[in-house]
């Protein structure tokens, strides 16, 4: 990977973005650092809760085999994304003011600039990491996870910048401003950047990795999922009425986004289960895995049933639930590794690389 020019472009983008973020945010932090510390728990909570949610959505532990790619995506979202986006959004505000006037810019600048700039910079990060790890990233769940963690990195840092700026909006800065902003952004974060980029990531990863698809199909999949994230971002940032309807509209927007994401996620899970079953079938055909036990790993429900049955069969002196759970995780991880090897074997030119890919 380090021999690839794309990797060094990735590293340069991280450095440039981090420097730009620090340059733009440092003067604010000097004035409001106490308030920012008061709101910091909500930043940490955002990372823990939504990062945990992404792992929970990965029903068959695909993240175990692509952990380093997910870390690279998160770092891009946290370091490269916000600094570049802040600079671009500020300049776009001036352009919109010059073209349409101050009143229009105040109402529509966020809805016009942010979806274009922020989704583009996050999407570029997903593309870069997907290209570097294209032998391991090819399924929709890979795109959802990579996009989700890239968006989460952006979301965490963006929340921190909003909390830092909160104190500047009032005549007498107080920690309550940062706390209120942090709490609000945490509550509404369920439909924020992690979800938007998770949707885009599904299309980006498949467009990059599925070389067996016709180019027209790869472009179609990319455009569909990427524009879905942009559309949700536009709707989220578009002006809202200032009366009591604002909360209603906010709830409706969040509900619509969650519903569509749930429908897409359900399709991703069904596809992942089909892939898992076919991988088990291949392992059974080759005589390297039994047919019964892996078949019980497909859903969390069947795994619980298998653990209960094992506990009843062995009795009090048998393995604990934790032991059985660890065994199931090892089997799931093995199937994921074997499937990864099957996918990437044609690109692995030595037995050593093949064994490194398959793992222990």
191-249: per-residue pLDDT in tens?
999 999 999 999 999 999 998 999 999 999 999 999 999 999 999 999 877 777 888 88
CA gap 209, 232 in Å, rounded: 25
Q: Which band of pLDDT confidence, cut at 50, 70 and 90, is reported for residue 113? A: very high
Give residue 357's pLDDT: 52
- Mean pLDDT is lowest, of 77-81, 155-159, 168-172, for 168-172
Q: Are 191 and 48 in contact (CB under 8 A)?
A: no
Give residue 242's pLDDT: 73
Q: Which band of pLDDT confidence, cut at 50, 70 and 90, is reported for residue 345? A: low
Give residue 197's pLDDT: 98
Tokens of 138: 């090819």
Tokens of 37: 């510390």
Q: Is the pLDDT of residue 188 over 90?
A: yes
pTM of the model: 0.93
pLDDT, tens digit, for every residue of 254-290? Answer: 999 999 999 999 999 999 999 999 999 988 887 777 7
Q: Is the pLDDT of residue 90 over 90?
A: no
Tokens of 5: 């020019």
**Mean pLDDT over residues 337-342, rounded?**
87
Tokens of 299: 């859903």
**Mean pLDDT over residues 122-136, rounded?**
96
Query: Where do runs of H (alpha helix) occur along the chain?
Result: 5-57, 67-75, 81-100, 102-132, 140-166, 175-187, 193-209, 215-237, 245-285, 292-295, 300-314, 321-344, 351-358
Give residue 170's pLDDT: 62
Backbone angles phi, psi at 249, to 5 degrees: -65, -40
Q: Which of 12, 9, 6, 122 is nearest to 73 (CA)?
A: 122
Give residue 172's pLDDT: 58
Give residue 100's pLDDT: 86
Return mean pLDDT, the chain: 90
Tokens of 182: 């942090």
Residue with the larger pLDDT of the pair 52 and 100: 52
Give residue 47's pLDDT: 98
Is residue 134 helix, strand or coil? coil
Give residue 360's pLDDT: 45
């Amino acid at each position: 990977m380090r021999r690839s020019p794309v990797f060094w472009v990735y590293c340069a983008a991280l450095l440039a973005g981090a420097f730009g973020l620090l340059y733009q945010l440092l003067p604010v932090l000097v004035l409001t650092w106490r308030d920012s510390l008061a709101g910091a728990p909500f930043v940490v909570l955002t990372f823990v809760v939504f990062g945990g949610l992404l792992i929970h959505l990965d029903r068959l532990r695909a993240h175990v085999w692509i952990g380093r790619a997910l870390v690279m995506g998160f770092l891009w979202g946290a370091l490269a994304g916000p600094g570049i986006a802040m600079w671009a959004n500020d300049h776009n505000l001036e352009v919109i003011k010059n073209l349409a006037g101050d009143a229009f810019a105040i109402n529509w600048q966020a809805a016009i600039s942010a979806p274009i700039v922020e989704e583009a910079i996050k999407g570029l990060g997903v593309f870069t990491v997907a290209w570097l790890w294209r032998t391991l990233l090819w399924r929709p769940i890979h795109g959802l996870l990579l996009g989700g963690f890239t968006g989460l990195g952006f979301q965490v840092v963006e929340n921190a910048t909003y909390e830092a700026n909160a104190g500047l909006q009032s005549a007498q800065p107080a920690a309550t401003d940062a706390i209120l902003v942090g709490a609000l952004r945490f509550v509404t974060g369920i439909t924020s950047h992690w979800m938007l980029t998770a949707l885009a990531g599904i299309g980006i990863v498949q467009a990059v990795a599925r070389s067996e698809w016709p180019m027209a199909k790869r472009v179609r999949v990319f455009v569909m999922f990427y524009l879905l994230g942009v559309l949700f971002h536009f709707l989220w940032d578009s002006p809202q009425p200032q009366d009591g309807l604002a909360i209603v509209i906010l709830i409706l927007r969040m509900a619509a986004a969650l519903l569509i994401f749930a429908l897409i996620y359900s399709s991703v899970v069904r596809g992942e289960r089909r892939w898992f079953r076919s991988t088990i079938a291949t392992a059974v055909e080759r005589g390297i895995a039994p047919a019964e036990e892996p078949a019980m790993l497909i859903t969390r429900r069947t795994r619980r049933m298998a653990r209960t049955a094992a506990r009843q069969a062995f009795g009090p002196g048998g393995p604990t639930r934790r032991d059985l759970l660890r065994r199931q995780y090892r089997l799931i991880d093995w199937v994921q590794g074997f499937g990864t090897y099957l996918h990437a074997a044609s690109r692995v030119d030595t037995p050593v690389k093949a064994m490194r890919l398959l793992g222990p």
